[in-house]
A and B are shown apart, each in its own frame.
Chain A
């Protein structure tokens, strides 16, 4: 007595149409592995490289009324990015982070495609030149990697330092963008 795909799709569409869904999410394949995507009515709120833990994590911040539904616009922009056709994203974002984190992430969003910036350099841009370590923490907790390009932030000595998706993914994104690391 299983729910048919048709019945399942009808329920999901009805739930969405009735305005009952606080968070839509999906898990989509990408050249850097499966990505967890989530969006509220305000915009994209999470991209994660670890789909297994992301669902509950998002529920804690954005509410438990989460349903898996296609996120076509977000997915299309990401596909275009991975094909090298898109250099900037035109997506509304829903950031629920502390004020300092928000200021840093806004500045991060201005680091151009194919370029890198250091933690210290980004700290200077938000008016906290000595806060490189705090910037590292904000990058580490970036809720929307790729779209908010924390992969473009590297150590002062040119090392990649760290990345939520793992250093090979950070390297792959920089390679895709044709970024050259200062040596």
Chain B
């Protein structure tokens, strides 16, 4: 017998499920520019929504779109110190939605702002959102090994800076 494929839910259901977590994620990555990137993310998702082949891995899919949009912004503003300062302030905000690891967020919010964009995204997706490396690889547009390497490199960098500060 054929395995039933998860059908694609109506976009409204998909949107209601992921709108808040994606906004929280983007606030952590791009601070005050999060709302613009968030809207761009969901418009892109809607544009491609009828080309999905099944309804599996939709969370990883939308985080992929969000991560790529955020990376574009981070690369564009990395040299801009003023924008960087905005990001740091926003990272200190405490999220208030369900299904989110509060302790992990507080760790990561304080620690990741000095990481290069790719490592930062990998660390946040792995430790705050508990995505698998295959999903993170998809989000970063890289191999699973590269995603694993980015996360562990990010964690090593965090550990070094923590030891330096201690």
A residues touching B (Cβ–Cβ < 8 Å)?
1-3, 7-8, 10-11, 14-15, 18, 20-22, 25, 55-56, 58-59, 63-68
Contact = CB atoms under 8 A, between A and B. Distances in A.
Contact of B50 (A25, A64, A67): A64
Contacts of A10: 39
Contacts of A7: 23, 35, 38-39
Main secondary structure of the interface of A (DSSP, over half): mixed
B96 to A, nearest CB: 6
Interface in B1-48: 7-13, 15, 19-20, 23-24, 27, 35, 38-39, 42-43, 46-47
A3 B20 contact: yes
A175 to B, nearest CB: 34
B39 A11 contact: yes
Contact of B12 (A1, A3, A66): A66
A7 B9 CA distance: 23
A19 to B, nearest CB: 10
Given A1-B23, A63-B50, A64-B8, 14 more contacts: A1-B24, A1-B27, A2-B96, A3-B38, A7-B39, A11-B43, A15-B42, A15-B46, A18-B47, A20-B47, A55-B12, A56-B10, A65-B11, A66-B10
Interface of B: 7-13, 15, 19-20, 23-24, 27, 35, 38-39, 42-43, 46-47, 49-50, 52, 93, 95-97
A1 B96 contact: yes
A11 B38 CA distance: 9
A54 to B, nearest CB: 10
A68 B11 CA distance: 9
A11 B22 CA distance: 14
Contact of B46 (A2, A3, A59, A65): A65
